[in-house]
């Protein structure tokens, strides 16, 4: 696809919302500043309220309650999409998420479902500082009965969002601030750029990338969301500068974790690196590392390594933020440090 026809990720998500509103009367959207002409802080809802004024609701700044309002609507047969302006603000909704949204279906003995979608952007690298830059999706991984989907620029964003709205489970749809403005990059003839790509899984598939047609590779790097372009840059540089080939698995479904594509790749490579933008401790990578160690110990020839943000705040100043968040060089360094990789 030529650069002139490539759509930005924000446009793809916006078109998916328009398609959902056109095809389903029960879909409603609520959030802060979502009305036209503003169209949401990141412009994902542009045009929706003009087209569907009765189904798009701009709200007070009341996140703690909005999760509950959306839950109530979902319990009563609506398909609410709740836009939370910054992912950091899910912290305000944790009671509703943990003690309501995630519990209603099971504790009410399957008499109800809570089919809501929470759309929210995570991620830093924009200088927004400690409370508007975090990647907090890992907090949701400890909440049974919710589904966490992380969108990346290489996934079919529209299909992911449509599946999320049609899902009977509560879905946390994690977007990324830098992703919005980047081009949507879908595989063409099985490739994205120079890398071969395989797509596997159900409604929220994983993408597996290879720079040498899935021949021998030194390691598998598993990542998701806004960290994917960082990892792809790193593996490209490893090929060009070091002639080291890695496979990359980009998950879109973080919870429940489906690690089949990771296990398949690790069976080929014998080594695993996890890469995420969130902080290291008790992160997504920790859970993946534990599970792969349990399920594929015999395939692993060396310990799993994790790349993540330092356990601290995300400072505002560009230089300080850069030092805090995982960079291309961090991924490269961890791969190069794997025992036997440079042999």
Partner 1 sequence: MAALPDLYERMRFIRRFEETLLDLFSQGKLVGTTHTYIGQEANGVGVIDHLDPEVDVVFSNHRCHGHYLEFTGDAYGLLCEVMGRAPGTCGGKGGSQHLCKGNFYSNGILGSIVPVATGIALAEKQKGTGAVSTVFLGDGALGQGVVYESLNMASLWRLPVLFVVENNHYAQSTPIELELAGSIPARAEAFGICTAELDTTDVEEIHAAAGRAVSHVRETSEPFFLVLHTYRFSPHSKGDDTRDPAEIEERRTRDPLLVAGARLDSAEREAIDARVEERLAEVVAEAEAAPEATPEAAVL
The set of catalytic residues is 132
Binding mask 135-174 for partner 1 (x = CB under 8 A): ----------x-----------------------------
CB of 113 to partner 1, least distance (A): 11
CB of 73 to partner 1, least distance (A): 4
Question: Left (φ > 0), alpha (ψ -120 to 50) or beta: where does 180 sit?
Answer: alpha
112 near partner 1, rule: CB under 8 A: yes
113 near partner 1, rule: CB under 8 A: no
DSSP labels for 123-140? --SSS--TTSS---HHHH
Closest CA to 325 of 336, 311, 337, 339: 311
Contact region for partner 1 (CB under 8 A) — 101-109, 177-185, 231-239, 257-265? 101-109
Closest CA to 215 of 189, 246, 242: 246
CB of 109 to partner 1, least distance (A): 4
Distance CA 253, CA 300 (A): 23
Q: Cβ closer to partner 1: 57 or 300?
A: 57
CB of 293 to partner 1, least distance (A): 26
Closest CA to 148 of 133, 158, 159, 160: 160
201 near partner 1, rule: CB under 8 A: no
CA distances from 8 to 72, 88, 133, 154 (A): 33, 24, 21, 11
Q: Cβ closer to partner 1: 75 or 246?
A: 75
CA distances from 192 to 1, 92, 162, 172 (A): 10, 38, 23, 27
Q: What phi and psi, each to the nearest 5 degrees, are found at residue 10?
A: -60, -35
Neighbour tally for 335: CB within 10 Å:
24
Contact region for partner 1 (CB under 8 A) — 99-107, 120-128, 158-166, 212-220? 99-107
Q: Cβ closer to partner 1: 55 or 198?
A: 55
CB of 70 to partner 1, least distance (A): 6
Q: How many residues form the binding site for partner 1 (CB under 8 A)?
A: 38
108 near partner 1, rule: CB under 8 A: yes
Binding mask 11-30 for partner 1 (x = CB under 8 A): -----------------x--
Binding positions for partner 1, 52-91, rule CB under 8 A: 54-55, 57, 59-60, 62, 64-78, 80
Q: Cβ closer to partner 1: 108 or 318?
A: 108
CB of 84 to partner 1, least distance (A): 14
296 near partner 1, rule: CB under 8 A: no
CB of 274 to partner 1, least distance (A): 29
Distance CA 263, CA 299 (A): 9
Q: Cβ closer to partner 1: 69 or 313?
A: 69
Q: Judging by DSSP bridges, how do beta strands 246-251 and 206-210 pair with one another?
A: antiparallel
110 near partner 1, rule: CB under 8 A: yes
Distance CA 327, CA 307 (A): 9
111 near partner 1, rule: CB under 8 A: yes
Distance CA 271, CA 235 (A): 14
Give SS3 for 18: helix
Closest CA to 124 of 113, 114, 108, 135: 135
Binding site for partner 1 (CB under 8 A): 28, 54-55, 57, 59-60, 62, 64-78, 80, 95-96, 99-100, 103-112, 145
């Amino acid at each position: 696809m030529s650069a002139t026809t490539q759509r930005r990720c924000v446009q793809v998500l916006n078109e998916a919302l328009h398609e959902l509103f056109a095809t389903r009367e029960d879909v409603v959207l609520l959030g802060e500043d979502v009305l036209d002409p503003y169209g949401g802080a990141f412009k994902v809802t542009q045009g929706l309220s003009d087209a569907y004024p009765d189904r798009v609701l701009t709200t007070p700044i009341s996140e703690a309650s909005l999760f509950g309002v959306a839950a109530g609507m979902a319990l009563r047969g609506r398909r609410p999409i709740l836009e939370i302006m910054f992912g950091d603000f899910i912290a305000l909704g944790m009671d509703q998420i943990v003690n309501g949204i995630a519990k209603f279906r099971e504790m009410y003995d399957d008499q109800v479902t809570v089919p809501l979608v929470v759309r929210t952007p995570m991620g830093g690298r924009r200088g927004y500082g400690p409370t508007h830059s975090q990647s907090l999706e890992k907090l949701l991984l400890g909440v049974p009965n919710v589904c966490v989907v992380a969108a990346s620029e290489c996934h079919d964003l529209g299909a992911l969002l449509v599946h999320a709205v049609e899902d009977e489970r509560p879905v946390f749809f994690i977007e990324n601030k830098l992703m919005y403005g980047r081009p949507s990059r879908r595989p063409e003839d099985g490739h994205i750029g120079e890398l071969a790509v395989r797509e596997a899984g159900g409604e929220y598939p994983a993408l597996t990338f290879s720079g040498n047609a899935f021949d021998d590779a030194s390691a598998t790097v598993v990542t998701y969301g806004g960290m994917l372009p960082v990892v792809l840059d790193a593996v490209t540089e490893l090929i060009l500068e070091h002639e080291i080939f890695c496979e990359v698995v980009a998950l879109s479904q973080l919870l429940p974790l489906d690690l089949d594509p990771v296990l398949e790749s690790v069976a080929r490579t014998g080594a695993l690196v996890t890469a995420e933008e969130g902080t290291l401790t008790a992160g997504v990578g920790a859970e993946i590392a534990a599970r792969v160690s349990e399920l594929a110990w015999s395939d692993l020839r060396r310990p799993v390594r994790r790349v993540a943000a330092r356990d601290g705040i995300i400072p505002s100043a560009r230089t300080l933020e850069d030092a805090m968040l995982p960079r291309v060089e961090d991924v490269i360094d961890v791969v190069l440090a794997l025992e036997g990789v440079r042999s």
